């Protein structure tokens, strides 16, 4: 019997995204002034956030699709998903400050997508 769940969009699965863990991951980057992240830790967090963004984009898009066109939370969520998708194209090569900059942009997208998820799902 084939496993159809693997082919379903993330928004159609029974398990909601672990928003608390995603926020915690992003906070580790965004609060790095308080507690610096090692280069290895930064790479691990960057990879985790990319996966979180890849999970959240279709979930947020699916939730947004349930609202009428022109609805402000819908349009903001879709814009956030597009921005997050564009940030997935950013490379991680370069100097340490460049890698941190990319990681911070990914972290901000994770937080924004979590916010959109909660705003759309909580209405």
Q: pLDDT (tens digit, 9 = 90+) per residue, 37-73? A: 888 899 999 999 999 999 999 999 999 999 999 999 9
* Residue 12 pLDDT > 90: no
* Contacts (Cβ under 8 Å, ≥6 apart) of 31: none
Query: 90 — phi, psi (to 5°)?
Result: -70, 135
Q: For the segment 93-105, what is each residue's pLDDT rounded down to a tens digit?
A: 778 888 899 999 9
Q: What is the pTM of this model?
A: 0.84
pLDDT band at 35 (very low <50, low <70, confident <90, very high): confident
pLDDT for position 13: 53
Segment among 5-9, 17-21, 26-30 with least mean pLDDT? 5-9
pLDDT for position 2: 39
For the chain, helix, strand, coil in percent to 5 are 70, 0, 30
């Amino acid at each position: 019997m084939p496993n159809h769940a693997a082919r379903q969009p993330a928004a159609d699965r029974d398990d909601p995204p672990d928003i608390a863990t995603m926020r915690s991951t992003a906070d580790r980057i965004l609060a790095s002034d308080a507690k610096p992240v090692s280069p290895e830790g930064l790479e691990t967090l960057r990879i985790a956030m990319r996966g979180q963004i890849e999970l959240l984009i279709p979930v947020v898009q699916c939730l947004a699709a349930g609202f009428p066109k022109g609805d402000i939370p819908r349009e903001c969520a879709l814009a956030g998903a597009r921005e997050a998708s564009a940030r997935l194209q950013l490379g991680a090569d370069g100097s340490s400050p460049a890698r941190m900059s990319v990681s911070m942009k990914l972290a901000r997208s994770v937080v924004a997508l979590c916010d959109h998820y909660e705003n759309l799902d909580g209405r």
